[in-house]
Copies of this chain bind each other. A is one copy, B any other.
Amino acid sequence: MEIEYKNIKVIGFDADDTLWVNETYFRDAELELAKLLSPYETANKIDQELFKKEVDNLPLYGYGIKGFVLSMVESALEISNNTISNATIYKILEIGKDMLSKPVDLLEGVEEVLHTLSKDFRLIVVTKGDLLDQERKLEKSGLLDYFHHIEILSDKKEANYSKLLNHLDIKPSEFLMIGNSLKSDIIPLVNIKAKAIHVPFHTTWIHEQVHENETQNKNYNTVENLLDIIPLLSRKKSGTTVKND
């Protein structure tokens, strides 16, 4: 089955782990937390408890670093059975501030892809992170001028994307989403008849992982490198159709 991209008007880019490194910093933070809490529990158990806490808190805190830090503090209190030192709690707050101050490490090909696509399409950033944090990264990245604006979604489910398309005043077939998360950037789009291209990142948060059967019979392309998107979307080619995998 072939995928047509010729009606696309707007391309949405996921930001974290699609444009720049992000998940790696969360994994690093988890390692630091495990080190701080090593007198109380094994690293594996600490990871599990933190993940459980994050998922429990998601309805209240949503995504992003600040909620992650609050969940780390809460986990530290519980894992230590309320014996953690104030100094350690302070260090956890510092882990969060460090994450919010990280340099922006662009992924391969980002600049070239945005430069090329911005000539033919309206590009936007579509993220469920924290707006201030995403704006900070976009400014640091030097990519700001390629994007018309940033769309922050509280979650990346079908209803959120439908609302976005309504807001953008375009049909699903005119929207293409590019991102690293099957669960957040690809499957909901395909389900509402929009287009999506999957660009995997080497690390995926367990909350974003999907079972194989969720992607069966779904119609989207996967590329290994962001640069592989350019030939898929080239307007110069006659008949912009390609085979999906």
User: Which A residues are within 8 Å of any B CB, using their own CB?
Assistant: 60-62, 64, 66-67, 69-70, 73-74, 77, 80, 82-87, 89-90, 93, 96-97, 100-101, 130-133, 135, 148-149, 152-154, 163, 166-167
Say whether A101 contacts B69, CB under 8 Å.
no
Select which of B66, B152, B154 is within 8 A of A70 by beta carbon.
Answer: B66
Cβ–Cβ < 8 Å partners of A93 in chain B = 70, 73-74
Say whether B132 contacts A154, CB under 8 Å.
yes
Other 8 A-B pairs with CB < 8 A, given A70-B93, A74-B93, A149-B167: A62-B132, A66-B70, A70-B70, A77-B86, A77-B90, A89-B89, A130-B130, A132-B154
- Given A69-B70, A77-B86, A89-B89, answer yes or no on A154-B167 (Cβ-Cβ < 8 Å): no
Select which of B67, B83, B131, B154 is within 8 A of A66 by beta carbon.
Answer: B67
Q: Give CA–CA (A148, B80) in the complex, Å.
A: 47
Residue of B nearest to A81 (CB): B86
Q: Give CA–CA (A163, B139) in the complex, Å.
A: 14
Q: Give CA–CA (A135, B159) in the complex, Å.
A: 13
Say whether B167 contacts A62, CB under 8 Å.
no
Say whether A90 contacts B100, CB under 8 Å.
no
Instruction: Give the distance to chain B from A78, nearest Cβ to Cβ, in Å.
Output: 9
| A and B contact pairs by CB, cutoff 8 A, 6 listed | A60-B97, A60-B100, A82-B85, A82-B90, A131-B131, A132-B154
- Given A70-B66, A101-B60, answer yes or no on A86-B87 (Cβ-Cβ < 8 Å): no
Say whether B62 contacts A131, CB under 8 Å.
yes
Q: Which residue of A74, A80, A87 has the most chain B CB atoms within 10 A of its CB atom?
A: A74
Instruction: Give the distance to chain B from A157, nearest Cβ to Cβ, in Å.
Output: 12
Q: Give CA–CA (A204, B62) in the complex, Å.
A: 27
Cβ–Cβ < 8 Å partners of A66 in chain B = 61, 64, 66-67, 70
Q: Which residue of A70, A77, A131, A132 has the most chain B CB atoms within 10 A of its CB atom?
A: A132
Interface pairs A-B: 9 shortest CB-CB: A62-B132, A82-B86, A66-B66, A132-B154, A149-B167, A60-B100, A131-B154, A135-B154, A131-B152
